[in-house]
Amino acid sequence: MTEAHSVKRQARGRQRIADILDAALALFAQNGYEGTSTNAIAARAGISPGSLYQFFPNKEAIAEALSARLLEQMRAAHSSAFDLAQVTDLTLHELIDRMVDPLIAFNLANPGAKALMANTDLPARLQGAARPLQQAVVDRVAAIIGARSPRLPAAERNLAAMVAVRIVVAMMPPIVTAQGAERNALIAELKKALHGYVLPIEAH
Amino acid sequence: MTEAHSVKRQARGRQRIADILDAALALFAQNGYEGTSTNAIAARAGISPGSLYQFFPNKEAIAEALSARLLEQMRAAHSSAFDLAQVTDLTLHELIDRMVDPLIAFNLANPGAKALMANTDLPARLQGAARPLQQAVVDRVAAIIGARSPRLPAAERNLAAMVAVRIVVAMMPPIVTAQGAERNALIAELKKALHGYVLPIEAH
Amino acid sequence: MTEAHSVKRQARGRQRIADILDAALALFAQNGYEGTSTNAIAARAGISPGSLYQFFPNKEAIAEALSARLLEQMRAAHSSAFDLAQVTDLTLHELIDRMVDPLIAFNLANPGAKALMANTDLPARLQGAARPLQQAVVDRVAAIIGARSPRLPAAERNLAAMVAVRIVVAMMPPIVTAQGAERNALIAELKKALHGYVLPIEAH
Amino acid sequence: MTEAHSVKRQARGRQRIADILDAALALFAQNGYEGTSTNAIAARAGISPGSLYQFFPNKEAIAEALSARLLEQMRAAHSSAFDLAQVTDLTLHELIDRMVDPLIAFNLANPGAKALMANTDLPARLQGAARPLQQAVVDRVAAIIGARSPRLPAAERNLAAMVAVRIVVAMMPPIVTAQGAERNALIAELKKALHGYVLPIEAH
DNA sequence: GATGAATGAGGATTCATTCAT
DNA sequence: AATGAATGAATCCTCATTCAT
């Protein structure tokens, strides 16, 4: 009985948190972090301002949790696409497809994500919170590059991963904004840029 | 007499505006657009809040004017570096050097510029204000590409210019932040990325 | 069966109330009345906020009940020390010892009591709640003075009792705060003050 | 011209500050520190909440400034009454009159003063702000005792001053509250208490 | 033209109290 | 009876903007 209670309660709690993060994601995407009030988040989440603070101690914590959630979702989206072992069997074109496509799909599904990925929005104090999101992707890309080019020094590998991710992130806003053929053209261009950058690196 | 007055007055007015924009640039760079109060801008410009509103109707207008000024400065920095006529005589490496180096110099000299170039900081309503800044650079790059590859369709030329500029902008924050050898490595990497992207385009 | 239930229930209820008042006493002493949240009281009492309101209709009622409990405890502490009949046989020094010492012991044992005795903390609306606490002591002191100086008019007797109690209360905070020799010096000083005040009154 | 401006401005500023402190004094006296909102202070002072913060950085600062102002007023009221040199020529009765009467006058004129003198109200963090108020009086009293009883060790002198002041402060609330004959009776009683306490001390 | 005091709506956060479970 | 999530009014404080001087 008590257990049933607590199970239901926890489920409701998780749902509340999800609602809050959904609301925050939408509002951050629209108005930025500073432009979004906690009361607005609460209202969009369908709860009272007081309730919001039962789940998050302050506004920053919402941004942090949102970052973490996006990170997790992105990791999931990514790792399901292919595993490190097979990475050496792919052509560079195939590799880029498998890496970029899920990222684009993720950003299309989470239009607010860019607000946190391109972390220029948040106050300096908070940018650390969004860092892991990008960094996680960078690490994964570095691992893939390492698997394919084992002789590449670690420093160069990490640098290349960072640059590649920055290129992807930089192209994300127009890709998300565009529609249909235009979007496809942008995606093709992004892939060309990655190919042109990575090909010489893989060739030593 | 009246003329002399008005001349001095206008000169002083221009100086005031410059002071305000300088102050805004420094503060936006440090605290972001939302994190910067108009009173703080006025204080740093050495004037009263009331005076600030004699030159700008509201906070947004300051960001817009700042964008415009940065644009103008960047255009100047750029066009002084080389002129379109000679552009076809350069190797791609030379071309990239002549385009990227002044941009980097400009961003190092104006550390706040990135706050407006990577426009994610501003509220959605305002991002249009920063658009011209990037767009002007894109146009110039498109012109250069057009001069070197006259058979490239306009659409592709513009797309390529946009992508190239986005890559440059994306790399600017770490470049500005880094120091010495690390910065040089980042610059080299940026140039490699541009080279890898543009080379196939120029080859048709 | 029902009776047994209700007996146990009432016992548990009393325990709950005692727990709540203990918690409130500790927290009021530490953070004052306004600085103490009902949720904090409930938490320290080991119950839920909802349960707290099953025993007290609101926060004020807790302060009132706490006052009443302290009063009762003080009365008990006092009357056990000596009884009115013997009061005439004591020297003034002895009398003061017998009155002051238990009061000090009580305050040392209940460090939060002073928050209610020196009632300046509570909102004006509430100060009436703490009145009885002091008034009860005043009445007892007045009775003692009356027993020793039967010819003293009632008005003067009550006035003297009030003044004496105020002097005691005024000295309580430093006495409770101090330690060892310093505390003893303060107690001695308090007794000197009382002696100096009461002696002329007893001499007519 | 500018000077005239600034003179007027400063005068207005001082008036504003005085108004704010008056408002705060009245409201603190009525509802205590925590029970008084900064908006309420602003409203009673006839200004906007924003204006209040042009003069005080936060609520605490208001309490501190109020303490300081009361202290200054009290010092003034006191030192005008008599000077240390003549203190030895007075009888104890005269001395007590000259010390107590201005204090009572001061408290009657500033009914809110007691809220800060009996510092139990303020949050622990703030009590230091009110300390100087009492301490200044204690110091002055100690100096007077020292002048009259030069052989009394400093420690005893300070202790006696502290006790005397506590007795005065303890009697202030009923004195301020009472009226006419009742008030006079209370004042007489306070003086008797002081006399009874100090006389043996002066006699060694 | 310049000043800076004044404004007041709005934002993050707390907390006494209620109520569905 | 008990729980603790939910409420929402109220708090302190900020800041874009105005206006009397």
Do A16 and A117 belong together in one domain?
no
Residue B188 DSSP one-character state: H
Q: Does residue A119 register a pLDDT over 50?
A: no
**pLDDT tens track for C24-77:** 999 988 888 888 999 999 999 999 999 999 999 999 999 989 888 887 887 777
Least confident of A81-95, B117-131, D39-53: B117-131
D167 and D191 Cβ atoms separated by less than 8 Å: no
**pLDDT tens track for D55-105:** 999 999 999 899 888 888 877 777 766 677 788 899 999 999 998 998 898
Residue B90 DSSP one-character state: S
Q: Which of A93, A96, A121, A198 to mutate to test the interface with B (most CBs of B within 10 A)?
A: A121
Do A43 and A113 belong together in one domain?
no
Measured from Cα to the C1' atom, the residue closest to E5 is D51
If one counts every other C-beta atom within 10 angstroms of the C-beta of residue B2, the result is 7
Task: Write out the residue range of the structural domain in which residue A197 sits.
Answer: 59-203
Least confident of C1-10, C95-104, C187-196: C1-10
Do A41 and A63 belong together in one domain?
no
Name all chains with 3 or more CB-CB pairs below 8 Å to chain D: C
Determine phi and psi for D80, rounding to 5 degrees: -70, -20
A157 and B156 Cβ atoms separated by less than 8 Å: no
**pLDDT tens track for C144-176:** 999 999 999 999 999 999 999 999 988 988 998
Q: Which two tokens mark B79?
A: 């066009």
Do B22 and B100 belong together in one domain?
no
B75 and B65 Cβ atoms separated by less than 8 Å: no
* CATH number assigned to the domain comprising residue C1: 1.10.10.60
Do D44 and D68 belong together in one domain?
no
**pLDDT tens track for A72-90:** 887 777 776 667 778 889 9
Chain B closest-CA separation from residue A32 CA (Å): 6
**pLDDT tens track for A123-181:** 566 656 666 667 878 888 999 999 999 999 999 999 999 999 999 988 988 998 899 99
Do D86 and D149 belong together in one domain?
yes
Do D82 and D143 belong together in one domain?
yes
Do B166 and B123 belong together in one domain?
yes
Q: What string of DSSP letters covers chain D?
A: -HHHHHHHHHHHHHHHHHHHHHHHHHHHHHHTTTT--HHHHHHHHTS-HHHHHHH-SSHHHHHHHHHHHHHHHHHHHHHTT--GGGGGGS-HHHHHHHHHHHHHHHHHH-TTHHHHHSGGGS-GGGHHHHHHHHHHHHHHHHHHHHHH-TTS-HHHHHHHHHHHHHHHHHHHHHHHH--HHHHHHHHHHHHHHHHHHHHHHHT-
Residue A32 DSSP one-character state: T
Q: How many domains, in total, are found in chain D?
A: 2
* CATH number assigned to the domain comprising residue B177: 1.10.357.10
Residue A188 DSSP one-character state: H
Q: At which residue do the structure tokens 């004017």 appear?
A: B65
Do A27 and A77 belong together in one domain?
no
D123 and C32 Cβ atoms separated by less than 8 Å: yes
B193/A190 touch (CB, cutoff 8 Å), yes or no: no
Chain C closest-CA separation from residue D194 CA (Å): 8
Do B164 and B91 belong together in one domain?
yes
Looking at C11, C39, C57, the residue that finishes a domain is C57
Looking at C10, C36, C57, the residue that finishes a domain is C57
Q: B114 contacts in A (CB within 8 Å)?
A: 120
Q: To 10 degrees, what angle do helices A38-45 and A2-31 make? A: 120
If one counts every other C-beta atom within 10 angstroms of the C-beta of residue A87, the result is 18
Chain C closest-CA separation from residue D95 CA (Å): 17
Summary mean pLDDT of chain D: 85
If one counts every other C-beta atom within 10 angstroms of the C-beta of residue D174, the result is 17
Residue D197 half-sphere exposure, CB side, CA atoms within 13 Å? 29
Do A100 and A180 belong together in one domain?
yes
Query: Could you tell me the distance in Å between the CA of residue B58 and the C1' of nucleotide E14?
Result: 34
Do B35 and B114 belong together in one domain?
no
A189 and B185 Cβ atoms separated by less than 8 Å: no
Q: Which two tokens mark A162?
A: 């960072």
Rounded Cα distance between C138 and D171, Å, is 14
Q: Does residue B182 register a pLDDT over 80?
A: yes
Q: Which two tokens mark A92?
A: 């560079």
D160/C189 touch (CB, cutoff 8 Å), yes or no: yes
Determine phi and psi for C33, rounding to 5 degrees: -65, -50
Burial A44-73 (b: 16+ CB within 10 A, else e): bbebeeeebeebbeebeebbbbbbebbbee
Q: At which residue do the structure tokens 């400063």 appear?
A: D10
Which of D162, D189, D199 minimises the CB distance to C196? D199
**pLDDT tens track for B15-54:** 899 999 999 999 988 888 888 999 999 999 999 999 999 9
